[in-house]
Chains A and B, each alone.
Chain A
Amino acid sequence: MRKNLNVIAAYSIMMGLIILVGIFQSWNIALSIFNLCLISAVMTMGANIQWGYAGLINFGIMGFTALGGLAAVLISVNPVQEAWSAGGTNILLSLFLIIGIVLTVRFVLKKYQKSKVRNYIIAAIIISGIIIIRLVSEPGIEAIEEVNPARTGFLGGLGLPIIFSWIVGAFFAGGLAFVIGKVALGLRADYLAIATLLISEIVIAIIKHEDWLTRGVKNVIGLKRPAPYEVNLQETEWFINLVEKFNSGKLALISDLSERQAALNQFVIEGSSVFVKLCYSGLFLVVVIILLILTQKALYSPWGRMMRAIRDNEEAANAMGKNVVKQHLLIFVLGSAIVGIAGAMLVTQDGLFTPGSYRPLRYTFLIWVMVIVGGSGNNFGAILGGFVVWFLWIEAAPIGLYLVNLTTAGLEDTHFLKVHLIESVPYFRFLMMGIGLLLIMRYRPKGILPEKIEIK
């Protein structure tokens, strides 16, 4: 118990801060911060598995998040029958062609010795394959995008409950990670960082511009929800009764009947959105707890010890007969799959998929700040990092505004400096993140909750 005191203290402070936001700002804001903290925590757990356990640097988190989001769309949206009949066959045919190309390339790679001729053959296969695919898919894509472009213009999904997408998102991200891992894991640390960063940009470019699959920058809105809708809640009997009971003290103070009804309505509207957010919090908490148990178990298992051995001295681990390449690939896939889950969760919560919103600053670098600040190698640290950094990211603007008002208190309200500073308050979050990261890296390089190795 005493050993874990700092963990408990850190988490209590964090929860206290969120509760303070609930009391002083509103419970709605507090809960949306909390939910996004949970999603960030899942992402940091994924990054932490790669960086903290194995020392692999993955700057492609944005790409895996987006793939998770894509899974949410492909699972939950109802299929667009018209589009399937218009261009479905062409798309399926192209898919088979892609599989065919991959298999042929594999065959050539296995069958022939490494040589220049082999490289040319592979290049020729890929280039001719791409040309054929374009010829096959183009009419299909055009036909699909012409089907009611204002509302659909894409193939749609499977029409299943969106919850399934969390697993499918993991598979999507894991699959991409497998490919990237095969290609890039042999690179040195900083090359790997740059390569993954750029590959994730390619993924985003594809998601953004392949309208037949994702509607691209036209966004997919109104995804199904695993939680009830506010509008429905506001009309259900039991929910109104619940809100009434909850606020009975406040309602009793109002004597006028119509005023009381109006107040109740207000409470019901507020309550419904809090209730929906609570549903999400519950779902996300379950995911975080399951992942936490799994990752903790893995960390203290023989496998976890092996990963640390590989991280700390690759050559020695190799000499001990551990297959470093294979383990690196495995952990890269696992970590990315967890990030994929987070991506699907994010889209589930928002109820919309906006490919244009995936930017490296928010989805890659910020997650890395979380991991470093929280404490790499320590799952509790990584989760805490997700909470702290996301909390600051959201609350930076109010804090910044307060600071600006404090420092410029002597100036008039119309003074150009004050006006300018107040206008630029949103950017204080970058400043806060940067300075926070630099201070942590300098004075507490292992993060708030450092990794501790205990042999159980």
Chain B
Amino acid sequence: MDFVNALILLLNYIFVPALAYGSQLAIGAIFVTLIYGILRFANFATGDMMSFGTMVAVLFTWYFQSIGLSLGFLPTALLAIPFAILFMAFYMLIIDKFVFKYYRLNKSPPVQLAMVSIGVMFVTQAVVRIIIGPSDRRFFDGEKFLIRANEFKEMTGLNEGLAIKSTQVITIVVTLILVSTLFWFLNKTKTGKSMRAYSDNEDLALLSGIDPKKIVMITWIIAAILATIGGVLYGLDKSFKPFTYFNNMLPIFAAAIVGGIGNPFGAFLGGYVIAFSEILLTYAYKKFFMYVLPESMEPDGLIQLLSTDYKFAVSFSILVIVLLYRPSGIFKGKIL
């Protein structure tokens, strides 16, 4: 029985949260990797683009709530996502037309494009803060828990409760659907294949009649979808605050590089690698060992490898180690 308790404990505090957090990072990482693979620059505006998409979704959610539209036990924000994506894609294409296109046509070095993306970051951040303000916003409605801790305890008679938030389930399900559609698109459709070809070798792709304008446009639209959905899922699970989104850029970058930048599947897995290592290394295992070990061997301390303050530092250290030993990432990057 103690063993089952220990297992539920890990499931409740490590596995489920890490899976949800990892999914959110994974979507962001695919976004980074896609831009890097096809448009060939490190996009420092990642976090702020996500917060822009989320902001639009929040505004739509508020509108739907005000006219009394809802999805019952599901959050209204899901209904707002398609509209937000439309706005986001429009915004991305405008940015591309007025900012990135010039450097792309001039074949500027990637570093210059990265600098330009910093300009975009500042502007987007300003737009978001001017429109919705810098404060913390919760826009979640609907049923909060799928399984509550006490219900679970009553149901199974165990000491440990397992609480599963509906946002966690939504995150995981939506991520799976989104990512599998994306991989199907990249691997099976003609447009997807031409995108991969373009990423692999631009000149050869151009020679074989692939239209670069179309590729770039589709990339930005996919990026808009990813940024919006990733941002909304994160916002539903935690809350929407522009500053947090900006900071999330860092673990997202870590995930993309750990997975091998330019490789969407690697980025997808990289998100989970980062999330699990963050949570595994900063979790206090005291209770777990209390269940597993006999009473005489119970630990005194918290059995915590690192304090939770170092959550971000863990993922960055992993990144540094990966960069040192395998600069191309765990899953060999740079083929889309």
- In contact, A441 and B110 (Cβ under 8 angstroms): no
- In contact, B313 and A434 (Cβ under 8 angstroms): no
- Of B41, B129, B133, B319, which one neighbours A430 at CB under 8 angstroms? B129
Given the known interface contacts A190-B41, A369-B118, A441-B112, the answer about A201 and B125 at a Cβ–Cβ threshold of 8 Å is: no
**CB closest residue in chain B, given A51:** B111
Stretch from A74-82, A152-160, A202-210, A234-242 at the B interface: A202-210
In the complex, chain A residues 179-213 whose Cβ is within 8 Å of any chain B Cβ: 183-184, 187, 189-191, 193-195, 197-199, 201-202, 205-206, 208-209
Inter-chain CA distance A185–B181, complex, in Å, is 38
19 interchain pairs, CB-CB under 8 A: A184-B320, A184-B323, A189-B109, A190-B41, A190-B42, A190-B114, A193-B111, A202-B312, A205-B310, A205-B313, A427-B125, A427-B130, A428-B126, A430-B125, A430-B129, A431-B123, A434-B120, A437-B119, A438-B116
**CB closest residue in chain B, given A437:** B119
B204 an interface residue at 8 Å Cβ cutoff? no
A365 an interface residue at 8 Å Cβ cutoff? yes
B212 an interface residue at 8 Å Cβ cutoff? no
Binary contact track A15-33/B, C-beta < 8 Å → 1, others 0: 0000000000000000000
Inter-chain CA distance A209–B123, complex, in Å, is 32
Question: What's the least CB distance linking B105 to chain A, in Å?
Answer: 12
B88 an interface residue at 8 Å Cβ cutoff? no
**CB closest residue in chain A, given B95:** A438
Binary contact track A391-434/B, C-beta < 8 Å → 1, others 0: 00000000000000000000000000000010110011111011
**CB closest residue in chain B, given A430:** B126
B276 an interface residue at 8 Å Cβ cutoff? no
B102 an interface residue at 8 Å Cβ cutoff? yes
A289 an interface residue at 8 Å Cβ cutoff? no
- In contact, A431 and B127 (Cβ under 8 angstroms): yes
- In contact, A430 and B114 (Cβ under 8 angstroms): no
- Using Cβ atoms and an 8 Å threshold, which residues of chain B touch A445? 112
Question: What's the least CB distance linking A196 to chain B, in Å?
Answer: 10
- In contact, B116 and A201 (Cβ under 8 angstroms): no
Inter-chain CA distance A368–B126, complex, in Å, is 18
Question: What's the least CB distance linking A282 to chain B, in Å?
Answer: 33
B39 an interface residue at 8 Å Cβ cutoff? no
- Using Cβ atoms and an 8 Å threshold, which residues of chain A touch B317? 202
B85 an interface residue at 8 Å Cβ cutoff? no
Inter-chain CA distance A431–B131, complex, in Å, is 12
Given the known interface contacts A430-B126, A438-B116, the answer about A190 and B111 at a Cβ–Cβ threshold of 8 Å is: yes
- Using Cβ atoms and an 8 Å threshold, which residues of chain B touch A421? 130
- Using Cβ atoms and an 8 Å threshold, which residues of chain A touch B110? 189-190
Given the known interface contacts A193-B114, A209-B310, A430-B125, the answer about A441 and B320 at a Cβ–Cβ threshold of 8 Å is: no
Given contacts A191-B327, A202-B316, A369-B118, 10 further A-B contacts (CB under 8 A): A195-B320, A198-B250, A205-B310, A205-B313, A423-B133, A424-B129, A430-B129, A434-B121, A434-B125, A441-B116
Inter-chain CA distance A189–B120, complex, in Å, is 20
- In contact, A368 and B246 (Cβ under 8 angstroms): no
Question: What's the least CB distance linking A417 to chain B, in Å?
Answer: 11
Binary contact track B96-136/A, C-beta < 8 Å → 1, others 0: 00010010000001111011101111111111011001100
- Using Cβ atoms and an 8 Å threshold, which residues of chain B touch A245? none
How big is chain B's contact interface, by range? 35 or more
Inter-chain CA distance A361–B127, complex, in Å, is 16
Interface of chain A, helix or strand or loop or mixed?
helix
**CB closest residue in chain A, given B256:** A194
- Of listed B99, B313, B327, residue having the most chain A CB within 10 A: B313
Given the known interface contacts A184-B323, A423-B133, A438-B99, the answer about A198 and B120 at a Cβ–Cβ threshold of 8 Å is: no
A57 an interface residue at 8 Å Cβ cutoff? yes
How big is chain A's contact interface, by range? 35 or more
Inter-chain CA distance A278–B223, complex, in Å, is 51
- In contact, A197 and B250 (Cβ under 8 angstroms): yes
Question: What's the least CB distance linking B285 to chain A, in Å?
Answer: 14
- Using Cβ atoms and an 8 Å threshold, which residues of chain B touch A206? 313
The 7 closest A-B pairs by CB, nearest first: A434-B122, A434-B123, A431-B126, A430-B126, A437-B119, A198-B316, A209-B309
A442 an interface residue at 8 Å Cβ cutoff? yes
- In contact, A431 and B122 (Cβ under 8 angstroms): yes
B324 an interface residue at 8 Å Cβ cutoff? yes
- Of listed A187, A205, A438, residue having the most chain B CB within 10 A: A438
B254 an interface residue at 8 Å Cβ cutoff? yes
Question: What's the least CB distance linking B19 to chain A, in Å?
Answer: 24
- Of A191, A368, A424, A431, which one neighbours B115 at CB under 8 angstroms? A368
**CB closest residue in chain B, given A134:** B305
- In contact, A199 and B316 (Cβ under 8 angstroms): yes
B38 an interface residue at 8 Å Cβ cutoff? no
- Using Cβ atoms and an 8 Å threshold, which residues of chain A touch B253? 194, 197-198
- Of A119, A183, A209, A429, which one neighbours B307 at CB under 8 angstroms? A209
Question: What's the least CB distance linking B113 to chain A, in Å?
Answer: 9
**CB closest residue in chain B, given A209:** B309
- In contact, A430 and B122 (Cβ under 8 angstroms): yes
Binary contact track A65-81/B, C-beta < 8 Å → 1, others 0: 00000000000000000
Inter-chain CA distance A361–B250, complex, in Å, is 13
B257 an interface residue at 8 Å Cβ cutoff? yes
A372 an interface residue at 8 Å Cβ cutoff? yes
- Of listed B122, B134, B327, residue having the most chain A CB within 10 A: B122
Inter-chain CA distance A433–B120, complex, in Å, is 10
**CB closest residue in chain B, given A180:** B320
